[in-house]
Structure 1
Amino acid sequence: MEAANLSTERFEEHRGHLRAVAYRILGSLSEAEDAVQEAWIKAARADVSEVENLAGWLTTVVSRLCLDLLRSRKSRREDSLDERPSEPAVRLFRRTDPEAEMVMADSVGLALLVVMEALSPVERLAFVLHDLFAVPFADIAPIVGRSPETTQRIASRARRRVRDQSEPGGADRLRRFRAVDAFMRAARDGEFETLLSMLDPDASYRPDEAARLLGAGSEMFGARTIAEEFSGAGHWTRAVLLDGEVGVVLAPRGKLRLVLTLSFKDEKIAAIEAVAEPGRLAALELRVP
């Protein structure tokens, strides 16, 4: 039988599904689109004449690429622990407008994506493929390099971690995400007392020069001062994950203008930094949970 290459039309029939799989594994729309595009490049060169289940075969291809990206991301984070940068280690995925990312995130569930940040790459992939897309363990096993039985145990462990959110980092991250999301909702609704209750008494707010020129205010200190300034503001904002930590983006009509990074003291917001300098924004990576 002669070799048969995959046509663009046949691949496009599966692009939506592959994009959904990649997004749920990676939690980033731009990375997901990169993975799907790379899958197309690999698939276009392959002989698919004997592929009986094209959707399953393509899912395997894109899943392997996603696993490599997750492992690379984890390695970069571990390498960065010793670098101790002077500025917040925040990155924003480019090429995808934040509004599209937010719509995609809503289709998955914000809390789920936040909690999945605590999973290892193999756990995340096994959980997503089996629990969200009903891929059999026998098909997942070759992707993660485990037996079907071990893969089932990995997915079960991931499911427990997602369900109880008790693993180190997972529950704290979800709690901070919900706190930031509630803070920005209170800001938009002008709920001064709610804002005040969520801020540490000695909280600080510091914008960079570009943020000041954008109208993001100047340095402020003290919970009451910051709450007064934020009350009635915060439109076009959304809570996000910034390099695995919780932050906020200002993206009117999908155009990124400003990023807020937040730090906590106990359960209170202790510091807010506004970043709008184009060079810093261009180097940022954002994942909307």
Structure 2
Amino acid sequence: MPELPEVETVMRGLKPVLEGRRIEEVSLRRSGLRFPFPDGFAERLTGRRIGNLNRRAKYILVSLDSDDVLLVHLGMTGRFTVFSPAGRQNLGEFYFETAAGEGGDGTHDHVVFTLDDGTRVVYTDPRRFGIMDLFPEAEAPAHKLLHAIGVEPLGNELHGDYLAERFRGKAAPLKAALLDQQIIAGLGNIYVCEALHRAGLSPKRKSGTLARRKGHDPRLDALIRHIREILSEAILAGGSTLQDFAHTDGASGAFQQRFLVYDREGEPCTTCGAPIERLVQSGRSTFYCRHCQK
């Protein structure tokens, strides 16, 4: 499943294509994805001008001049492809190619947005675990998918005292606590494994051991620094290519080439040379070095 850097990469790729454009047509090839599309979904989008695109956790939020918000979650295999009538375009750090045909006629192409400049933005999702919803912007804070989300890992609200408060008294493993979306928004399995390795903290450590009665263990500050560093590096690298993730231009992310522990079971730790180990926590694979991470 795409994690925060992958979603951020897709959102940044869509921004220069969508912002300021008007939606001329919305073609739905099925009645829904993971959930049914809202009533009047295509009609409510048609003719609307697009404002800002933002990311909240792993959701892409598209503001419209109707004061509605289009929410998109890529699920496990969702992706957008941009088909430009002008051919190859340089849009800042992103390039877009015109593929053969107009696009949107594939078996798994479920939603096609046609813009006022002739560009077609195609949403493809073989497993249909993605989500699209449309709701008034004023309702966003109370939206069922957004209201309980924790702080953004790249924002100033994430700091040592905050984590200490949320971890205090908890026996849950540190990795599980970091993956709790009500504590930190959008932090996923891959980057938690990598950040814990950089911070020298065991994924099995009880999260409460890093919280003190007053203040917090300084290792929380280091952990937060590594979380921010690794997410920023991954965004700059365009995310990680695992299974179906790709940019809006079809290119693959490259951060997986920098993994120090994730998916490296049995390979030597780059710090101490001991073999990387794998264990299962809450049904998910954890990769770590027992010698470097305490």
Give the TM-score band, short-chain normalised: 0.3 to 0.5
Flag the structure with higher strand content. Answer: 2
